[in-house]
Amino acid sequence: MAREKKPVHKVQMTEGKRNIIHQLLDEYDIQSAEDIQEALKDLLGGTIKEMMEAEMDDHLGYEKSQRSDSDDYRNGYKTKRVNSSYGTMEIEVPQDRRSSFEPKVVQKRQKDISDIDSKIISMYAKGMTTRQISETIEDIYGFDVSEGFISDVTDKLLPQIEDWQNRPLDEIYPIVYIDAIHYSVRDNGVIRKLAAYVILGINTEGKKEVLSINVGDNESAKYWLSVLNELKNRGVRDILILCADGLTGIKEAIAAAFPKTEYQRCIVHQVRNTLKYVPDKDRKAFATDLKTIYHASDESKAREALERVNEKWSPKYPNSMKRWYDNWDAVSPIFKFSAAVRKVIYTTNSIESLNATYRKLNRQRSVFPSDTALLKALYLSTFEATKKWTTTIRNWAQVYGELSIMYEGRLPE
């Protein structure tokens, strides 16, 4: 994806800004860029002090110049050394007699105040728009942060995303899933639907790992071949089972890039595609009947169950079972495995839990301003979700043992 060019910031000079600049020049005798940094550091310290003075007013319930009958009152200042974006600096923290004042802008025991970037990125990761982040910061800290500034902060992620997308991968992944989530993205004033294709792997240790995220709208065998070749170029030598929905061209691309890989049609999607033809009143009963197909002990019994379900429901819903027949060659590989392996393949709990995180972005943002903004949000959401991925897949030893026998010599002992 081509990196979006950042607009050049144009300074809008006003009379008020000119006065402030002249005052800075006079006050700090600015002669160099370093002098500007020192001036900004001093101004930052002064601004923080004024913000904490306002917090103290709120804490005590009266302003500095007012009288009060309260038994708590101001008790001077305490010097505190902190690290900021402009270097180490000392700030004056107001104190009260009862030592009950808890400042918010610089909290007790806080030694670093340069984390505004991380706070912005954290809010962006939760799906908040730049406008929402700007409003939140103003509510919390009492100062305005422009949407352009927030965009600049999150743009710092782009090199990290590029490094992450190009990082080396393992040589072998026993199971890989590919799934898509669709988002609305603004493109030159026109809103388009773009798909975010998430590739998730289960490594030989049984742990989940997001391998790649691709944003696009052009499914084809050529497209998927380029995606799979990218995995190969990053070190992937073999995939035993690749589980995906009926993505256009995916079967042909797998055959070209990883000819030994088993393509398994995602059962969860297969069921969903069937039930979309069925109204609510029959959906539960229909879903129960479908289980007799993919829970069958072997392929022949699954085929018998397919015929029974088709005979029962097709007269009422003629299009509902068509895809089971059309896709049987990609559905049927699952029947050669035990229940333990099937559960890992067909429930797709691994990718469904991740998709739940991605769907939050759709609920919080109806339209993304660009495909770059979407990619940043997806990357951050992925990072947030995968921090919790510390355990292995349930019954992985059993699953790995069975796969080792089934695909003899392709997995390390």
The predicted model gives 360-374 an average pLDDT of 80
Q: Which of 388, 379, 383, 391 is nearest to 158 (CA)?
A: 379
Query: What is the structure's pLDDT at 169?
Result: 95
**By percentage, how much of the chain surpasses pLDDT 70?**
78
Higher pLDDT, 211 or 393: 211
- How far, in Å, CA of 260 to CA of 99, rounded? 70
What's the confidence (pLDDT) of residue 334? 92
Residue-averaged pLDDT of the chain: 82
The Cα–Cα gap between 29 and 32 comes to 9
Q: Could you read off the pLDDT of 90-145 as tens digits, one per residue?
A: 888 888 888 888 887 777 877 776 665 566 666 666 666 677 777 766 665 555 65
List, for residues 67-97, the tens digit of each pLDDT value.
Answer: 777 778 888 888 888 776 666 778 888 888 8
pLDDT in the model for residue 138: 67
pLDDT given for residue 19 in this prediction: 63
Q: Residue 1 — very low, low, confident or very high, per pLDDT cuts 50/70/90? A: very low
pLDDT recorded at residue 109: 79
DSSP characters over 324-366: HHHTHHHHGGGGGS-HHHHHHHHS-HHHHHHHHHHHHHHHH-S
pLDDT exceeds 70 at position 7:
no
Taking only the tens place, the pLDDT of each residue in 239-295 is 999 998 888 889 999 999 999 999 998 888 889 889 988 999 999 999 999 999 999
The three-state secondary structure class of 15 is helix
> 10 vs 351, which has greater pLDDT?
351
More confident residue, 412 or 128: 412
Q: pTM for this one?
A: 0.67
Strand order in the sheet with 208-216: 208-216, 190-202, 172-187, 238-244, 262-265
Token pair 């049984």: residue: 206
Average pLDDT over residues 224-245: 94
Cβ pair 123, 116 in contact under 8 A: no
Q: Is 231 exposed, middle or buried (0-12, 13-18, 19+ CB in 10 A)?
A: buried
> pLDDT above 90 covers what percent of the chain?
31
Q: Give 298-353 pLDDT, tens digit per residue.
A: 999 999 999 999 999 999 999 899 999 998 999 999 999 998 898 888 755 667 77
Mean pLDDT of 399-411: 92
Distance CA 261, CA 46 (A): 64
CA atoms within 13 A on the CB side of 359: 7
* pLDDT for the residue numbered 221: 87
Q: Say how far apart CA 205 and CA 217 lie, in whole Å.
A: 33
Contacts of 52 (CB under 8 A, 6+ apart): 93, 94, 103, 105, 106
Query: CB within 8 A of 105, min separation 6: which ones?
Result: 48, 51, 52, 55, 141
